[in-house]
Structure 1
Amino acid sequence: MNTRLIRVGNSQGIVLPKKLLEQYHLTGEVDLQPTPEGLLIKPVMKPRRQGWDERFQQAIAQGQAPEGELLEGFSDEAFEETEWQW
């Protein structure tokens, strides 16, 4: 697939087709890595649970017990005995 470099201010850029953006999950921030064959463009994968540990520690420091409140009344047996429908 060929494309052209276009002027973007004092730099240059390329337009990536929507199909490639979707296929390779490229949105927002990307990582550019030079390779012997050319330039590799990769999506930046941010951890989904980034910052959770800090928020849990803050909740505990404020006297909250997030784990106890969330799991209160939950039993493994009830979960396993529930009939699942697909």
Structure 2
Amino acid sequence: MRTHLRKIGNSRGVLLPSALLAESGITDEIEIRMEEGKLIIEPVQKPREGWFDDYRAEEDLEAFEDIALDEDTEEWEW
């Protein structure tokens, strides 16, 4: 796709078609960087986004099933 830079105040800007925005996942904020002489524009990723997408609590419980309790361990009373 070819487009033109537009004057915006003292800067220049590019209008991005909505179809490209939707496909790229870009909403309000973007990250821009130079990579090998090219501008790379990406959506901003929230910190730790997706860390627990595949998390299954039952797998954590299974990891501790085979651990033996100490002989002097009693149930806790609150």
For these two proteins, the number of residue pairs brought into alignment is: 49
Q: Normalising to structure 2: TM-score of the pair?
A: 0.57
Identity rate of aligned residues, in percent?
Answer: 41
Superposition RMSD in Å: 1.7
Q: In the alignment, residue 10 of structure 1 is paired with which amino acid?
A: N
Q: Distance in 1 between matches of 2:6 and 2:29?
A: 19
Higher helix share: 1
Over residues 46-71 of structure 1, what are the superposed CA-to-partner deviations in whole Å (9 max), with x where a residue is unaligned?
A: 1478xxxxxxxxxxxxxxxxxxxxxx
Q: Distance in 1 between matches of 2:20 and 2:27?
A: 11
Q: Which stretches of structure 1, 4 residues or more, deviate above 4 A after TM superposition?
A: none
Which structure's relative contact order is higher, taking Cα pairs within 8 Å and 6+ residues apart?
2
Q: Normalising to structure 1: TM-score of the pair?
A: 0.52
> Considering only CA atoms, is the larger Rg found in Structure 1 or Structure 2?
2
Structure 1 portions without partners, runs of 5+: 50-86
Q: Which residue of structure 1 aligns with residue 34 of structure 2?
A: 34
Structure 1 residue 23 corresponds to structure 2 residue 19: no
Over residues 19-61 of structure 1, what are the superposed CA-to-partner deviations in whole Å (9 max), with x where a residue is unaligned?
A: 0000001111100010115100000011478xxxxxxxxxxxx
